[in-house]
Amino acid sequence: MKPSSGETTCRFADLFTIDDLVQNRDDAIHRFKMEMCTWEGKFGFGVGYNHVTGVTFDGHKIDYETGDLRKNLIQYWTASSKEALHVNMLSLYFLDDVYARQFFGNTSEANVIDVLERKIASYNDFHRRYPGFGGFLPWFAANGTQMNLLDGWLSRVPSLDNGQLIWSIKILIEALRRKSLDDLAAKYQERLDLMTRTVIPVFYDAARGGIRCESAIINLLDEGQMTNSSNYVTNGDCLLDDPYEGELMSYFMDLYAPWEQYGLTREECDKMWRNKRPKLVRVEYNTTTPWNSIDQKRVTVQRGYWFSSHEQWKYFYLPYQDIDLQRRLFVNGEKVRVYHSATYGIPGLYASVASSAAVGTYAVDYYSACGIQLAASQLVQHHHVVTPYASFPVIMANESIGLAWYLHMLQGSAMQNLYGSTEAINVNGLTISPVITWDSKITTVVAMLSSGLIDVTRQILRNEGKYDRFYNITESEWTRVFGANELLGEDIPWHLPTVSLPRNGLPDFTLCRNRSTNNRPKYIGLLVVIIGFFNFYFKN
């Protein structure tokens, strides 16, 4: 797994500076993105999925010393959210994105088609055995030669993750059609049609006028029950009424669900949006700090749950930023994200992520409650772990600034391994999260390339006569909350890191150290030879 001759080291972050990226010196952004996709691709097109079934693994634990995979510590489970990211990268390959091609090692089209053929065959086999899921995916076991049920998810299915996947499949179908891969596109269209047909019985709670966060399934094995609304009940009392990534399912159901087929009217859509309104809230982030109460400024943002970067996933797919108010709010939020870390001396950014673990140990918890308390509705509980992927929405708002923050975190000890970025690091630089996952790695790549996905979605919505409805809902709902008064703080500047992760306590992985000449451009080696020749010649 060591770099081959002429290949750059996996610690490529040491070859760049923040100033290189901000100034785009010597085409640094392009070079950095190519390096990034090369190494993240070793996960996404390597160890991150089951090559027999074509479906993702959640991830792997990596050895604290070497950075290679830790034997027998594969995170063999997965969900439709990880599948969405995989599908996104496969779509971008067929959209001829140069970075996506690099991610897949510039492999042949036939090899990528093979992955998609295996994936849809696995989806169909799973549906044949468990039709009660209605074509949607629960969390499931991805090891072995087929998808299998996972303890804890034997008869329930989440809506949020499936909202991410359903838009990803729509984009994939269009990407395949543009390449005249009509037979393969038809297989995914059949899956999309199935999900469209069953989305109301599976996920809509008509009595409460909202989308179930999770649906419990009464009869999992009878295919005839998957369009029977009484076969599904809300698991607990949670409704998917957030204005964050869960909203992807809201838009899909509003725009595409066959309401009349189930004796419902379009009024249900309006009810769904009305019931979501309490969680769409305006807040003014206050830049006052304990040590500076003079230069006070307030910045208008959409209140987050924890204000974790993970909450911005919805911006991968839908053309939210076509609406001027949405675009300005999004930018304000990402300016606040980097301002907060820069001002409070935090050497990175926050997002829901796996915890760090003591050196040489591999038990991690999942820290959901990571974010910025001043802009959150819920208690933020974890402030000591930062993660490179938290830069992804910043990248979407300002590519050079976002990549600079990403680079800054990659430059922490052991934050690059044989498969790209490492999950997370303690702000003291002494411990990492010895994990590699789709959420903490490929979200950043997808965000970096998301304009290609959004362009496809926009065209789909226009072609299918849905764009005006999408635009009008978005403009109306956000104007209701943010339109009466001017947005504050739009002039706040972008901020870069002010403190670095300490690098004097934790060594880099032994298989990923920037100590050899592997990371030097070939002309450096040639220059050394020439200088050596002249020294020898003139001394003799």
**Domain assignment of residue 173, yes or no:** yes
pLDDT value of position 524: 27
pLDDT value of position 532: 36
Same domain, 268 and 297: no
Average pLDDT over residues 475-492: 97
Same domain, 247 and 286: no
Same domain, 305 and 453: yes
pLDDT value of position 304: 99
**Domain assignment of residue 86, yes or no:** yes
Residue 264 CA: distances (Å) to CA of 132, 160, 233, 260: 22, 22, 17, 5
> Looking at the predicted structure, is the pLDDT value of residue 522 above 50?
no
Taking all residues of the chain, what is their mean pLDDT, rounded to a whole number?
A: 94
Same domain, 357 and 379: yes
* Under 8 Å between Cβ of 157 and 81: no
- Rounded Cα gap, residues 511 and 358, in angstroms: 20
**Domain assignment of residue 272, yes or no:** yes
Same domain, 248 and 297: no
> Looking at the predicted structure, is the pLDDT value of residue 528 above 60?
no
pLDDT value of position 391: 99
pLDDT value of position 251: 99
**Domain assignment of residue 71, yes or no:** no
Last residue of a domain, one of 236, 264, 279: 279
pLDDT in tens, 219-266: 999 999 999 999 999 999 999 999 999 999 999 999 999 999 999 999
* Residue 512: pLDDT band with limits 50, 70, 90: very high
Residue length, the chain? 540
**Domain assignment of residue 132, yes or no:** yes
pLDDT value of position 291: 76
* Residue 513: pLDDT band with limits 50, 70, 90: confident
* Under 8 Å between Cβ of 205 and 212: yes
pLDDT in tens, 364-392: 999 999 999 999 999 999 999 999 999 99
> Looking at the predicted structure, is the pLDDT value of residue 529 above 80?
no
Same domain, 265 and 125: yes
Q: Is the whole-model pTM more than 0.85?
A: yes
According to DSSP, the residues that pair with 421 across neighbouring strands are: 416
Domain with 141, as residue range(s), is 48-57+79-279
pLDDT in tens, 341-351: 999 999 999 99
Same domain, 131 and 254: yes
**Domain assignment of residue 502, yes or no:** yes
* Residue 57: pLDDT band with limits 50, 70, 90: very high
- Counting the structural domains of the chain, the total is 2
Last residue of a domain, one of 279, 294, 320: 279
Average pLDDT over residues 497-508: 95
> Looking at the predicted structure, is the pLDDT value of residue 56 above 60?
yes
Same domain, 264 and 409: no
pLDDT in tens, 410-436: 999 999 999 999 999 999 999 999 999
Same domain, 247 and 334: no
pLDDT value of position 294: 60
**Domain assignment of residue 73, yes or no:** no
Same domain, 361 and 389: yes
Residue 370 CA: distances (Å) to CA of 179, 333, 352, 384: 41, 16, 5, 9
Half-sphere exposure of 101 (CA within 13 A, CB side): 8
pLDDT in tens, 179-206: 999 999 999 999 999 999 999 999 999 9
Average pLDDT over residues 503-526: 61
Query: Comparing C-alpha atoms, which of 443, 437, 245 is closest to residue 355?
Result: 437
* Residue 1: pLDDT band with limits 50, 70, 90: very low
**Domain assignment of residue 63, yes or no:** no
pLDDT value of position 526: 34
3-class SS of residue 85 = helix
pLDDT value of position 518: 33
Same domain, 505 and 446: yes
- Rounded Cα gap, residues 540 and 535, in angstroms: 9
Same domain, 3 and 148: no
Last residue of a domain, one of 246, 279, 312: 279
> Looking at the predicted structure, is the pLDDT value of residue 470 above 60?
yes
